[in-house]
């Protein structure tokens, strides 16, 4: 019942409100969990502050009072020329988040790297000071694509928020609900929050190390503000006194995605990052074909304990925060997709009943034949191939591509003389953008085996079009015309291609 309530609450996306009802920390966490791409506007008295998010990551911050800070920043760099100040004032007022950087670079007043550092420092200052706001209004506007910002934060949300909370005056009230000393801290149950990539201070790491799921907050830390900061970013959560919560295996604490500020990096860190990058790329390449067991790297008969350990290991490895690492900067889409698969595996394997249902779905998607059975007669092999093809075609129409691929692949193996089997195999492969070349190669093999099949040559033309191989596409269509000179489809496609050539058409 609790899970249903949490799911319902998570599905109610924020669109606006007041900070006295929904604090800034809660807003940031919701946008992070939702993987939202939005503009958050927060206003208090006469000031309005802007915060940009892309897939949950906080990109930058700006204020309509940026101009008042420009002079101070420029003087810090010894660049208090009046003409530069005037230009910076105008740009900052007209383009919050963008104007200051353009003013500093386009006037030639400072090198770009200095301008970038200046703008990032201003954005961080705006962000950190915003945690002192306890009153005001906010609105959230969805964005279709990431905003065009000259400079973005290069740290994770958790690290940025922690730094802001550390800078709060000790006498200032903490910007979140009061922490009950009798509540029991546990590691976050949500995999996205638990495995955030975050840099902790030694004191914060020490407090985190005392979280065992049993001791109350007062025994975990003498300074409850440190504990409150870890709660604020969602790394840990509090269980009220007397309430029972089925927690995850606590031994996973040793592999949380945390680093200690000032600590020496582990040996062979570059090799570890390279290995992680290869694992992400290789797994994502097969994303449309792999089962949840294969995502986790465990066999289908793995015991529940092994699955839980694999879930937590892969949640850490595939966490979206890792795209901020240099070695994984090009893999943001892959990380987002792979992590969703890990979350799906978490839900699927959470109970024995849900796992049984998933296993049954795999059995339904498996090929009719589980072995090539080389001793079978030719007639039997053809019957098996036909049965697999019919099932694979149905799965393809249902967009269940992985089992469809496995089944039609066996159809081609059992009876390679059927054009329909080759064609379906190529179409299934083309559903994976990373398998476009394999799809074309499938049809090349088919054309060699079935050179008189019009359908095979037409499908090869389609596969070459997806591969952007125009010369081979034209060649395939001409082969169709040799076999069937009156083929209207080939005639139409050849005419279309001819009209697109330079010097043709208009």
pLDDT bracket for residue 72 (50, 70, 90): low
- Mapped onto helix, strand or coil, the DSSP state of residue 10 is helix
Rounded distance between C-alpha atoms, residue 186 and residue 238, angstroms: 6
pLDDT band at 378; cut points 50, 70, 90 = confident
Residue 107 has pLDDT above 70, yes or no: no
* Strand residues in 305-363 grouped as ranges (E): none
Determine the Cα–Cα distance for residues 33 and 10; give it in Å rounded to an integer: 8
Q: Is 369 a residue whose pLDDT tops 50?
A: no
Q: Is the pLDDT score of 406 beyond 70?
A: yes
Alpha helical stretches, state H, 38-98: 66-76, 82-94
Pairing of strands 137-142, 57-63: unpaired
The pTM is what? Answer: 0.69
Residue written as token pair 């967009």: 399
Q: Which of 208-217, 342-351, 394-403, 452-461 has the lowest mean pLDDT?
A: 394-403
Question: What is the model's pLDDT at position 207?
Answer: 93
For 235-269, the pLDDT digits (tens) are 999 999 888 776 655 444 557 899 998 888 778 88
pLDDT digits (tens, 9 = 90+) for 31-56: 999 999 999 999 998 899 999 999 99
pLDDT at 367: 40
Q: Is 198 helix (H, G, I), strand (E, B) or coil?
A: strand
Q: Which of 5, 58, 68, 71 is nearest to 32 (CA)?
A: 58
**Residue 30 is encoded by which pair of tokens?**
């919701």
pLDDT single digits (tens) 90-104? 666 666 656 666 666
What's the half-sphere exposure (Cβ side, CA atoms, 13 Å) at 279? 18
pLDDT score for 168: 92
The DSSP-derived string for 395-450 is HHHTT-HHHHHHHHHHHHHH-TT-HHHHHHHHHHHHTSGGGHHHHHHHHHHHHHH-
Domains 269-363 and 367-499 share a fold: no
Q: Quick one: fold of 367-499? A: 1.25.40
Contact between 342 and 315 under an 8 Å Cβ cutoff? The reply is yes
3-state secondary structure of 264: coil
Model pLDDT for residues 436-445, shown as the tens digit of each residue: 899 999 999 9
Domain residue ranges in the chain = 10-154, 184-260, 269-363, 367-499
HSE-CB at 494 with a 13 A cutoff on CA atoms is 17
Rounded mean pLDDT, 212-229: 93
- H helices of 221-348, where? 224-232, 269-285, 292-296, 304-317, 332-348
Quick one: CATH architecture of 269-363? Orthogonal Bundle (1.10)
Percent of the chain with pLDDT over 90: 53
- Give CA–CA dist 376/382, Å, rounded: 10
SS3 content of the chain, % helix, strand, coil (to 5): 60, 10, 35
pLDDT of residue 133: 93
Look at 148 and 71; give whichever has higher pLDDT: 148
Does 18 have pLDDT greater than 70? yes
Read off the pLDDT band of 185 (50, 70, 90). very high
* Straight-line distance from the first to the last Cα atom of the chain, in angstroms, rounded to the nearest whole number: 66
Pairing of strands 16-18, 57-63: unpaired
Distance CA 347, CA 188 (A): 15
Share of the chain above pLDDT 70, in %: 83
Res 7: pLDDT: 39
């Amino acid at each position: 019942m609790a899970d249903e309530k949490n799911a319902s609450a998570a599905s109610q996306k924020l669109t606006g409100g007041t900070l006295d009802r929904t604090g800034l920390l809660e807003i940031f966490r919701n946008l992070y969990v939702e993987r939202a791409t939005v503009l958050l506007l927060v206003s208090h008295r006469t000031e309005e502050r802007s915060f940009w998010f892309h897939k949950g990551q906080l990109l930058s911050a700006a204020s309509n009072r940026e101009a008042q800070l420009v002079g101070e920043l420029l003087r810090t760099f010894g660049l208090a020329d009046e003409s530069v100040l005037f230009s910076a004032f105008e740009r900052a007022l007209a383009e919050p988040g963008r104007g200051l950087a353009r003013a500093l670079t386009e006037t030639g007043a400072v090198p770009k790297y200095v301008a970038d550092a200046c703008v990032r420092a201003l954005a961080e200052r705006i962000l950190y000071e915003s945690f002192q706001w306890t009153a005001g209004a906010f609105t959230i506007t969805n964005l279709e694509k990431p905003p065009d910002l000259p400079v973005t934060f290069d740290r994770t949300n958790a690290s940025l928020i922690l730094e802001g909370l550390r800078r709060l005056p000790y006498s200032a009230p903490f910007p979140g609900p009061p922490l009950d000393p009798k509540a029991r801290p546990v590691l976050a149950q949500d995999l996205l929050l638990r495995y955030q990539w975050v840099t902790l201070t030694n004191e914060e790491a020490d407090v985190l190390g005392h979280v065992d799921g049993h001791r109350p907050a007062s025994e975990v830390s003498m300074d409850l503000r440190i504990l409150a900061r870890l709660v604020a970013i969602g790394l840990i959560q509090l269980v009220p006194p007397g309430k029972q919560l089925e927690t995850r295996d606590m031994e996973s604490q040793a592999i949380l995605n945390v680093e200690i500020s000032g600590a020496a990096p582990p040996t062979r860190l570059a090799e570890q990052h390279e290995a992680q990058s290869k694992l992400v790329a290789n797994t994502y390449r097969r994303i449309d074909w792999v089962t949840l067991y294969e995502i986790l790297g465990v066999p289908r008969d793995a015991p529940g304990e092994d699955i839980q350990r694999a879930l937590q290991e892969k949640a850490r490895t595939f966490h979206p925060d890792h795209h901020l690492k240099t070695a994984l900067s090009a893999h943001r889409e892959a990380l987002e997709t792979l992590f969703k698969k890990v979350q799906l595996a978490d839900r699927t394997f959470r109970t024995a009943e849900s796992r049984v249902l998933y296993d049954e779905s795999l059995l339904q998607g498996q090929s009719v034949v589980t072995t090539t059975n080389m001793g079978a007669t030719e007639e039997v092999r053809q019957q098996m191939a036909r049965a697999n093809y019919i099932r694979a075609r149905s799965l393809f129409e249902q967009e269940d591509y992985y089992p469809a691929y496995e089944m039609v692949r066996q159809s081609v193996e059992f009876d390679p003389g059927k054009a329909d089997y080759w064609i379906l195999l190529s179409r299934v492969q083309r559903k994976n953008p990373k398998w476009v070349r394999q799809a074309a190669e499938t049809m090349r093999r088919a054309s060699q085996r079935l050179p008189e099949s019009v359908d095979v040559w037409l499908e090869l033309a389609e596969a070459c079009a997806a591969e952007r191989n125009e010369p081979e596409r034209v060649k395939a269509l001409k082969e169709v015309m040799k076999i069937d000179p009156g083929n209207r489809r080939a005639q139409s496609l050849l005419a279309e291609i001819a009209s697109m050539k330079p010097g043709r058409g208009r």
